[in-house]
């Protein structure tokens, strides 16, 4: 771990620098597969599933029977856990519904805003070592609340041609309308263009490796929206002497085990706490099954000492962490003033893993400094805001002249004329 004491402001940028991924070398691969899926559809999807996942699959759509089988395979304990998590995520996201915004801006000029669902969405759930059924909850639950009509889920098959039962169980529980055994670039391409088996969608959500990340970026060039740009996961903790070093260490490690490129930062006004946390990290690290991964991330981690809360806040705001844990005496100072963070965890008994799974907040959050300009996934991510206006005869007489003057000043005579004709009609 790298200890840094009182860094000067000029050095912040380099201290807080994230690893910059160079995607140029994989961009050509991604483009090639997109082109092939666009022209050849399902047969290209099957080809790349064989190539990348090492299995040739006849029917890539998950059947009713496979779902029944999966339901039997998931333990009751896990089912209950998933259901409690679902219930909390539902409560929090349902509360985000907004009523129609209605304003009569001028007499006779009625304007309103309504949100309507994005009709077709795609969820990407990675395979690999960690079967992310929690991400299914985070994406499918708000999609269902929003009223999305088609919810397509793609996830790569394992070597035996199956998707993890917990993923299938959760997808089925949360109203996913179609589940497909397809992963990687070919999954994103298929949801972008549509194939006979895989529907084209309007927006793609979900995490993935660098190939999936680049594929999602490329999808946007073909009219598909994506949840947000992705980068390695991050945690920044601000803590002082009121924090429990063992808790802080456990939170840093739970971030570190995500991947060797995970970003782990502790900012503190206490040198003593920094030393204690460092010790605790070493102790806890020893017994972790994913020690090899966590160890590498921890080696790059930073423990930063600063003089006071004000400097700490400024530094944290400059970083804009995805996850931000506050474990200080004056927690309100940070809660009130933090400008850039994805999700904030407050106090000694709020570990990041609570938000990853059960508290109810969404765990799909902006990384890589995107907390400065992007929201995490929330109910609105599955909706579009549309505006409406209805102007009465009185209304157009009230604002008509104004429109005419502005249109004329912008040199748009036909815009003016659309009003002039109506005003004349009303004068007869």
Site residues for a copy of itself, 132-191, by CB under 8 A, read: 132-134, 166
Judged by CB under 8 A, how many residues of this single chain contact a copy of itself?
Answer: 128
Please give the backbone phi and psi of residue 103, each rounded to the nearest 5 degrees, phi first: -140, 130
> Per the annotation, does 353 bind a ligand?
no
Catalytic annotation present for 93: no
Least distance in Å: CB of 321 to a copy of itself? 11
CB < 8 Å & 24+ apart, contacts of 70-74: 70/163, 70/165, 70/166, 70/168, 70/169, 70/172, 71/165, 71/168, 71/169, 71/172, 73/165, 74/165, 74/166, 74/169
70 burial type by CB count under 10 A (0-12 exposed, 13-18 middle, 19+ buried)? buried
Q: 302-336 burial by CB neighbour count: b if 16+ within 10 A, else e? A: bbbbbeebebbbebbbbbbbbbbbbbbeebebbee
Question: By C-beta, is 60 or 118 nearer to a copy of itself?
Answer: 118
272, 275, 307, 393: residue in contact with a copy of itself (rule CB under 8 A): 393
Least distance in Å: CB of 385 to a copy of itself? 4
Asked if residue 73 binds a copy of itself (CB under 8 A), the reply is: no
Give how far Cα 73 sits from Cα of 86, 136, 165, 175, 252, Å.
Answer: 19, 18, 6, 19, 33
Give the span between the Cα atoms of 362 and 353, in whole angstroms: 12
Least distance in Å: CB of 11 to a copy of itself? 18
Q: Identify whether the C-beta of residue 357 lies closer than 8 Å to the C-beta of residue 134.
A: yes
Q: 169's torsion region: left (phi>0), alpha (psi -120 to 50) or beta?
A: alpha
> Per the annotation, does 363 bind a ligand?
no
30, 44, 62, 118: residue in contact with a copy of itself (rule CB under 8 A): 118
> Per the annotation, does 83 bind a ligand?
no
Stretch that binds a copy of itself, among 4-12, 46-54, 246-254, 303-311 (CB under 8 A): 246-254
User: What track of x and - describes contact with a copy of itself for positions 207 through 236 (by CB under 8 A)?
Assistant: -------------x--xxx---x-------
Q: Identify whether the C-beta of residue 45 lies closer than 8 Å to the C-beta of residue 230.
A: no
> Per the annotation, does 93 bind a ligand?
no
Question: By C-beta, is 51 or 94 nearer to a copy of itself?
Answer: 94
Least distance in Å: CB of 377 to a copy of itself? 9
Cβ atoms < 10 Å from Cβ of 194: 15
Question: By C-beta, is 4 or 259 nearer to a copy of itself?
Answer: 259
Question: By C-beta, is 196 or 409 nearer to a copy of itself?
Answer: 409
Least distance in Å: CB of 361 to a copy of itself? 4
Residues 286-315 that bind a copy of itself (CB under 8 A): 288-290, 294
Least distance in Å: CB of 54 to a copy of itself? 21
Asked if residue 250 binds a copy of itself (CB under 8 A), the reply is: yes
Least distance in Å: CB of 65 to a copy of itself? 23
Give the span between the Cα atoms of 334 and 364, in whole angstroms: 22
Question: By C-beta, is 60 or 298 nearer to a copy of itself?
Answer: 298
Of 206, 64, 200, which Cα lies nearest the Cα of 127? 206
> Per the annotation, does 233 bind a ligand?
yes
Sheet strands (E) in 56-172? 101-106, 109-117, 120-124, 150-154
Question: By C-beta, is 165 or 183 nearer to a copy of itself?
Answer: 165
What one-character DSSP code corresponds to residue 225?
Answer: E
Residues 326-365 that bind a copy of itself (CB under 8 A): 335, 338-362
Residues 4-43 that bind a copy of itself (CB under 8 A): none
Q: Identify whether the C-beta of residue 320 lies closer than 8 Å to the C-beta of residue 331.
A: no
Q: Identify whether the C-beta of residue 159 lies closer than 8 Å to the C-beta of residue 55.
A: yes
> Per the annotation, does 323 bind a ligand?
yes
Catalytic annotation present for 323: yes
Q: Pick the catalytic residue: 36, 66, 234, 322?
A: 322
Residues 91-110 that bind a copy of itself (CB under 8 A): 91-92, 95-96, 98, 101-103, 105-106, 109
Structure tokens at 226: 């994506």
Of 16, 7, 12, 15, which Cα lies nearest the Cα of 307? 7
Give the span between the Cα atoms of 40 and 37, in whole angstroms: 5
Residues 371-390 that bind a copy of itself (CB under 8 A): 371-376, 378, 380, 383-390
Active site members: 322-323
Cite the annotated binding site by residue number: 124, 186, 209, 233, 255, 258, 323, 356, 410, 415
Cite the annotated binding site for substrate by residue number: 233, 255, 258, 323, 356, 410, 415
């Amino acid at each position: 771990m790298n200890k840094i004491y009182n860094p000067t402001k000029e050095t912040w940028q380099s201290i807080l620098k994230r690893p910059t991924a160079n995607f140029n070398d994989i961009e050509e691969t991604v483009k090639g597969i997109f082109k092939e899926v666009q022209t050849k559809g399902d047969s290209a999807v099957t080809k790349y599933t064989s190539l990348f996942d090492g299995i040739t699959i006849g029917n890539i759509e998950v059947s009713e029977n496979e779902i029944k089988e999966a339901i039997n395979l998931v333990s009751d304990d896990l089912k209950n856990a998933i259901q409690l998590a679902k219930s909390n995520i539902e409560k929090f996201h349902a509360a985000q519904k907004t009523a129609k915004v209605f304003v009569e801006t001028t007499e006779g000029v009625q304007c309103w805003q309504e949100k309507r669902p994005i009709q077709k969405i795609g969820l990407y759930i990675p395979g690999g070592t960690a079967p992310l059924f929690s991400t299914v909850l985070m994406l499918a639950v708000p999609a269902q609340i929003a009223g999305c009509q088609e919810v397509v889920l793609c996830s790569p098959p394992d070597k035996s041609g199956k998707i993890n039962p917990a993923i299938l169980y959760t997808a089925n529980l949360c109203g996913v309308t179609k589940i497909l055994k397809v992963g990687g670039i070919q999954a994103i391409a298929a949801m972008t263009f549509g194939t006979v088996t895989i529907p084209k969608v309007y927006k793609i959500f979900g995490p993935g490796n660098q190939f999936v990340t680049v594929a999602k970026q490329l999808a946007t060039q073909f009219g598909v929206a994506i949840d947000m740009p992705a980068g390695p996961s991050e945690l920044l903790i601000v803590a002082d002497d009121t924090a429990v070093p063992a808790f802080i260490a456990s939170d840093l490690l739970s971030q570190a085990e995500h991947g060797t490129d995970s970003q782990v930062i502790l900012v503190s006004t206490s040198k003593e706490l920094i030393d204690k946390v460092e010790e605790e990290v070493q102790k806890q690290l020893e017994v972790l099954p994913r020690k090899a991964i966590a160890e590498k991330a921890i080696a790059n981690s930073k423990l930063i000492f600063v003089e006071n809360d004000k400097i700490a806040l400024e530094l944290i705001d400059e970083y804009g962490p995805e996850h931000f844990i506050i474990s200080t005496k004056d927690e309100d100072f940070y809660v009130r003033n933090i400008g850039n963070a994805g999700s904030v965890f407050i106090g000694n008994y709020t570990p990041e893993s609570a938000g990853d799974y059960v508290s109810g907040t969404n765990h799909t959050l902006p990384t890589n400094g995107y907390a400065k300009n992007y929201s995490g996934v929330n109910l609105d991510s599955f909706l579009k805001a549309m505006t409406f206006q209805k102007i009465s005869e009185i209304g157009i007489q009230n604002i008509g002249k104004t429109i005419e003057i502005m249109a004329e000043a912008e040199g748009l005579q036909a815009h003016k004329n659309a009003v002039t004709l109506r005003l004349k009609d009303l004068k007869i």
